[in-house]
Amino acid sequence: MITRPQAKALDAADPLAGFRDLFVISEPDLLYLDGNSLGRLPKATVARVREAVDDDWGRGLVRSWQAGWMQRPREVGDRLAPLIGAGPGEVLLADQTSLNLFKLATAALDAAAPRSTIVSDAGNFPSDLYVLAGVAERAGGSLVTVDGPESFSAALDPSVGLLSASHVNFKSGKLADMAGLTGRAHDAGAMVLWDLSHSVGAVPIDVNGAGVDLAIGCTYKYLNGGPGAPAFLYVARHLQDQLTQPIHGWWGQQDMFGFDLGYQPAAGIDRFAVGTMPMLSLIAAESGIEISAEAGIGVIREKGMALTALMVDLFDELPGDLGFSLASPRDAEDRGSHISLSHPDGYRITQALIERGVIPDFRAPDIVRLGAAPLYTRYVDVWDAFDRLRQIMESGEHLAFTEQRSGVT
């Protein structure tokens, strides 16, 4: 039986304990286990955005573009690059995840013509599947989905131009074999595009080492970039001047202030930009990236595995008749930094937890998802959350909540 004092002892020995103080924690008693959705607000972000508003916008006005704003998407991309194993000039902060997916998937299929099939996982994030299906249809092909990444190899026939998958499954938390799957796709003549949204900032990633062609991801979750934070894209250096970006925007133009009527793509990663960058949101994303880089992804990963291992141990201590099943891999090496519990009353349980001061999130049809954000989640938070979960189930208080889903969970 794991005790609360044991959890507190783990916190006392935690090498990342001091990083919690870098975040705004306005409700100390709130157990925030929604770490792979909206991350907490870094304190440095408040000052940085205020400075951008008061000084850059308020005083500098349009002069601030020349004084540094124009270079910011590449500069912040270079700061993020080591977190995914990329080099300088291979990462750009721009647009949103779905738009970046469209841009890179379209560029990949254009380069792979006449191959026009995209292969993905039926458990991939639905928004990714929507975009990929549209891209394949545009190219005169189709999206083929398989039942799990382990089935990719059988689907990689000569019609496939692109394999696209999530590094960490958004429901189960299962971690995919990036290097192995990338190699198999390349052997079949297909390019590979990874969605890193549920792994960046939580799991070590080595896109260069794995030979990855393309990747996208968000700064909204473990990187704590804020609501509506800009996403990022990665393009391997050797592909940057070969691929054709499908959206010819002025920020991707070779001479953006020349105002030529004909479009000439910029060199390198810059060609994958489109329109004017959301500068305040981009500036807000910097602090979280810098905090993760300072902490070190290796230490972050070790704590993430330890936190989710504690979740699994506490799940095992729940009475079996409560009706839960574990919907995530048991081996910490095989998962990202969240645990999913399946229960027929998952939505009502999620609402009851929120009422009790525990913020998880719900994923249809029956998943209670518990995220462990190692920079600020404590072991005692996990212990207290499972203690409240047990109380909820034993009292039946979740039954007072509606089964009808509404709003954000």
Active site (catalytic) residues: 125, 195, 220-221, 369
- Dist. CA 382–CA 36, nearest whole Å: 15
- Dist. CA 382–CA 311, nearest whole Å: 7
- Angstrom CA distances, 307 to 33, 87, 153, stand at 11, 30, 33
SS3 call for 144: strand
| C-beta separation of 33 from 370 below 8 A | yes
- Angstrom CA distances, 333 to 305, 328, 365, stand at 7, 12, 26
The sign one gets for the Cα dihedral 40, 204, 70, 55 is: positive
| C-beta separation of 342 from 367 below 8 A | yes
DSSP characters over 182-193: HHHHHHTT-EEE
Of the CA atoms within 13 Å of residue 236, those in its CB half-sphere come to 17
- Angstrom CA distances, 329 to 323, 338, 354, stand at 18, 10, 25
| C-beta separation of 216 from 233 below 8 A | yes
Extract the tokens encoding 179: 């290097």
